[in-house]
Amino acid sequence: MTISFDLAENSVLAQEHYNRIAREQMRPIARDADTHEHELPESWVEWYWLHGRDNVGDVNAPSDGFIQVCIQAEELCWGDAGLYLRTPTAALGGSAVAAAGTQEQRERFLTPFRGSGHPIWGAMAITEAEAGSDAAAIQTTAERDGDDYVINGQKIFCTAGEGASQVEGGFVVVWATVDKSAGRGGIKSFVVPAGTPGMELVGLEKKLGIRASDTATLRFENCRVPAANLLGSAEVKKRDSKTGDKGFKGAMATFDASRPIVAAMAVGVGRASLDFLLEELDRQGVSVRFDAPPSELTAIERDVIEMIGELQAARLLTWRAASMMNKGKPNNLEASMAKAKAGLAVTRITQKAVEILGPPAYSKKLMVEKWMRDAKINDIFEGTQQINQLIVARRILDYSSSMLR
C-alpha cells in the first residue's frame, strides 16, 4: 500500500490563499494589535468578514476536509495567533454545536455566520476558578424550569467571549451541571445567544501572549435559555451507572475536533519563528548542513535540525488526527497526541529561536519575542500538556480515569 502525503489540489490552493492573507493582512498589523490589547482590531475584523470567508477553489473539487481547517489555522497563525483568535467565526462554540448538536441546532446557530451582515463570534465557556483541567468539577448549574433551563455561575478564560456574548448573532456554549449528585453524568452544554438577559461580561484578561484576542470572564445570573438550546441528550446517568459518563463523554468529544486545530495553531507560530530564524541565519552567512555527519555539526546546526524535525512531527500528528475526523473514526488518542506534541514543540522552537538570535530577539525590535509569548498558550488551553499526556497514557494502557490520575 502506498501512503501519500500530498495535499488535494483545493487544499494547496487554500494553503496559498491563507498564507497570502497572513502576509498581506495580518503581519503588517500584528505588532500594533498586540500592543493595543482589548481594542478591537477593526481593520482585520472588517476585512476578514468581507473578504476572508470567500470560497477557495472549486467547491465541488476534492479537498482534504478537516485537514484543510488545520491548514487554515496554521497559515493564519503564521500571520498572527492573536488576530486568528479574534477572527469573526463560530470558533470553539461552533465546534461544540457541530459535534454535539442536532441538525436543527446546527442550522439555527451556525447558519447566521454565513448570512449575517456584520461580524459575529462564537465562544465556549467551560473553565471556572475551581474547575480548570478537571471539567467534571464544574459548579455552574442549569436548573430545569418548565420549557427552559436557568443557568447560574461564572466562567473564566472564555476565548472570544466578549464578541460572542455582546454582538447580535453570536453565542456562547456554556457547560453546566444539571445534577451535581450525578457527577460527570450531570454535565451538559447549552447555547446562550448573545444579549441573553442574565449573561454579563464582567472582565477581560490581561495576557502574556495572544493579546489581540479577547479572553473574557462571564457571569450567569438567572440566565434563562430554552430547553431546545441543550446540546445532546437531557438524560442524566448517576455515578454508579455503567454508562454514567456517556453524556459527559459526548460533551468532551468537542475537544477531539478542537485539539487538532490548536495543534495546527501551534505549528503556525512555531513555523513563523523557524522561518525567521533561517532567514536571519542566511542573511548572516550561516548555513545549515543537513547532509553532514552529526559529529561535524555545529551547536546551531544541531538545534535548527532538531527544531525542523519537531515541527514536522507535530504537523504530521495533527494531520493524522484531522484525517481520522474526516473518516468518522474515533481520534481521542490522536487528537491528544497532536496537541501535546505541538504544544511542547512550539514552546521549545520559539524559545530556542530567541536564544540563538540573542538580545535583539528578546527586545521588541523583532517579532520573535512576540511569537515566544504567543506560543505558550498552545501548551495550556484545550487541555494542558499534562492532561493530554495523561489521556494518551490512559488510551494506550486502556486505563480508566479512576485507574490513572
Q: What confidence tens digit (pLDDT) does each residue in 218-232 have?
A: 999 999 999 999 998
Q: How confident is the prediction for the chain on average, in pLDDT?
A: 92
Query: Which of 99-108, 129-138, 350-359 has the weakest average pLDDT?
Result: 129-138
Tell me how far the alpha carbon of residue 282 is from its chain's centroid: 33
Percent share of the chain, pLDDT over 90 = 78
Answer yes or no: is pLDDT of 329 > 90: yes
Looking at residue 244, its pLDDT comes to 46
What's the pLDDT band for 146 if we cut at 50, 70, 90? very high
> Is pLDDT larger for residue 253 or for residue 338?
338
Distance CA 141, CA 157 (A): 18
What sign does the dihedral 8-11-17-21 (CA atoms) show?
negative
Q: Of the given ranges (9-23, 25-39, 52-66, 285-299), which has the lowest mean pLDDT?
A: 52-66
CA nearest to 252, candidates 373, 387, 154, 121: 387
- Inform me whether the pLDDT recorded for 242 exceeds 60: no
Contact 318, 267 (CB under 8 A): yes
Burial (CB count <10 Å: 0-12, 13-18, 19+), residue 375 = buried
- The burial of 6, by beta-carbon neighbours within 10 Å (0-12 exposed, 13-18 middle, 19 or more buried), is given as exposed
Domains and CATH numbers, the chain: 1-87+253-405 (1.20.140.10), 103-237 (2.40.110.10)
Regarding beta strands 187-193 and 230-231, do their DSSP bridges make them parallel or antiparallel, or are they unpaired? antiparallel
Q: Would you name the residues annotated as active-site residues? A: 382
pLDDT value of residue 84: 97
pTM for this structure? Answer: 0.93
The letter for the amino acid at 63 is S
For 30-56, what is each residue's pLDDT tens digit?
Answer: 999 999 999 999 999 999 999 887 777
How confident is the model at residue 247, as a pLDDT?
A: 54
Q: Is the pLDDT of residue 243 over 50?
A: no
- The span from the CA of 265 to the CA of 259, in Å, is 10
pLDDT at 245 over 80: no
Residue range 371-405, pLDDT digits in tens: 999 999 999 998 899 999 999 999 999 998 888 88
pLDDT tens column, 180-235: 988 888 999 999 999 999 999 999 999 999 999 999 999 999 999 999 999 988 87
Q: Calculate what percentage of the chain has a pLDDT beyond 70.
A: 95
pLDDT of 254: 80
Predicted confidence at residue 60, as pLDDT, reads 65
